[in-house]
Amino acid sequence: QTVVTQEPSLTVSPGGTVTLTCASSTGAVTSSYYPNWFQQKRGQAPRALIYSGSNKHSWTPARFSGSLLGGKAVLTLSGAQPEDEADYYCLIYYGGVQVFGGGTKLTVL
Amino acid sequence: QVQLVESGGGVVQPGRSLKLSCAASGFIFRSYAMHWVRQAPGKGLEWVAVISHDGRFIYYADSVKGRFIISRDNSKNTLDMQMNSLKTEDTAIYYCSRGAIVGAPKQLDFWGQGNLVTVSS
C-alpha cells in the first residue's frame, strides 16, 4: 500500500519562512506524480494552492510556492501570516489512483 | 462561478446502502474529470474515486473498491457515488471536487462544502 508522508506539525513565526515536505513510499516524487497542495482551515472545505508541483491557482497568495527537491514535493511559505495557520495536505497521482499525505498542522506563533 | 453542491448524506446502518450526489454548475461539466474525497471526523483527507470527463476511466481507493460506484450524467451536470455495504469506518464528510480538464495537468481545483455520512447502528 502506497503511503505519502508529511510532517505532522510545524510552527512558524509571523513573517517567517517554513517548508513543508511530501514524500512517497514508492520513491522520488517527480513531476510525473503531479503533486498538489491544499490548505484546510477548521470547519472549512479544502482549498487548492498548488498543482503539478509548482503551478499556482489564480487565487493562491504569492507567499506560497511549490517545488520538487531531494525527491520530495515541497511547499514553501515565505512571510507567514496569522491567517496561514491551517492544515496542509499534499496529493500524489499514481497513474489513476491518488493518495493524500497525512497532513501537516501549521501553527503561526 | 464554479459551484459544487453535495447532497444525499445522512445516517445509515452498517451493511446498508446510500447514494451521494453532486450538482455542478458554472463550468462545462462534460470537459472535466470529477473526484470524491472524504474526511473522517478529526482525521485527514482521503481520496476516494475519480471518473474521467466521459466516464470511460474510473479509479477507486482500495478502501472502497468493490463497494462504491462512481458515475456521472453529463446531460444533467451531476456526479454520483453509490455506496454499498457501508462500514462504520466509512463515516466521514464526503466532498466532490473538480478534476482536470481534458489534456491539462492533474489537479483538484474547486471543492464542494461537503456532505456528512454517518454509518452507525
Contact: B107, A100; criterion CB under 8 Å: no
- Whether residue B26 contacts residue B2, with contact meaning beta carbons closer than 8 Å, is answered with yes
Left, alpha or beta for B34 (phi > 0: left; psi -120 to 50: alpha)?
Answer: beta
According to the model, what pLDDT value does residue B97 have? 98
Q: Residue B45: which of A57, A89, A96 has the nearest Cβ?
A: A89
According to the model, what pLDDT value does residue B19 have? 98
Contact: B109, A97; criterion CB under 8 Å: no
Q: Does residue A61 register a pLDDT over 90?
A: yes
According to the model, what pLDDT value does residue B104 have? 83
Instruction: Tell me if residue B87 falls in helix, strand or coil.
Output: coil
**Closest residue by Cα to residue A66 from A57, A56, A78, A58:** A56
Gap between the Cα atoms of A9 and B41, Å rounded: 18
Rounded mean pLDDT, A71-94: 98
Q: How far apart are the first and last CA of chain B?
A: 40
What b/e string do you get for B78-105 counting C-beta neighbours within 10 Å, with b at 16 or more?
A: bbbbebeebeeebbbbbbbbbbbeeeee
According to the model, what pLDDT value does residue B102 have? 83
Nearest-neighbour CA in chain B from A17: distance (Å): 24
Gap between the Cα atoms of A52 and A33, Å rounded: 8
Q: Does residue A62 register a pLDDT over 90?
A: yes
Chain A residues closer than 8 Å to B57 by CB: 96
Beta strand B3-7 pairing with B92-101: unpaired
Question: What would the pLDDT profile of A29-60 be if each residue is shown by its tens digit?
Answer: 999 999 999 999 999 999 999 999 999 999 99
According to the model, what pLDDT value does residue A11 have? 98
Q: Does residue A77 register a pLDDT over 90?
A: yes
What cell was used for A94? 499514481
According to the model, what pLDDT value does residue B103 have? 80
**Closest residue by Cα to residue B95 from B30, B46, B26:** B46
- Whether residue B38 contacts residue B96, with contact meaning beta carbons closer than 8 Å, is answered with no
According to the model, what pLDDT value does residue B7 have? 97
Chain B contact probe: residue of A39, A42, A97 with most B CBs at under 10 A: A97
According to the model, what pLDDT value does residue B106 have? 86
The conformation of residue A32, written as its DSSP 8-state character, comes to: G
Contact: A93, B95; criterion CB under 8 Å: no
Q: Residue A45: which of B47, B109, B114 has the nearest Cβ?
A: B114
Per-residue pLDDT of chain B (121 residues; tens, 9 = 90+): 999 999 999 999 999 999 999 999 999 999 999 999 999 999 999 999 999 999 999 999 999 999 999 999 999 999 999 999 999 999 999 999 999 998 888 899 999 999 999 999 9
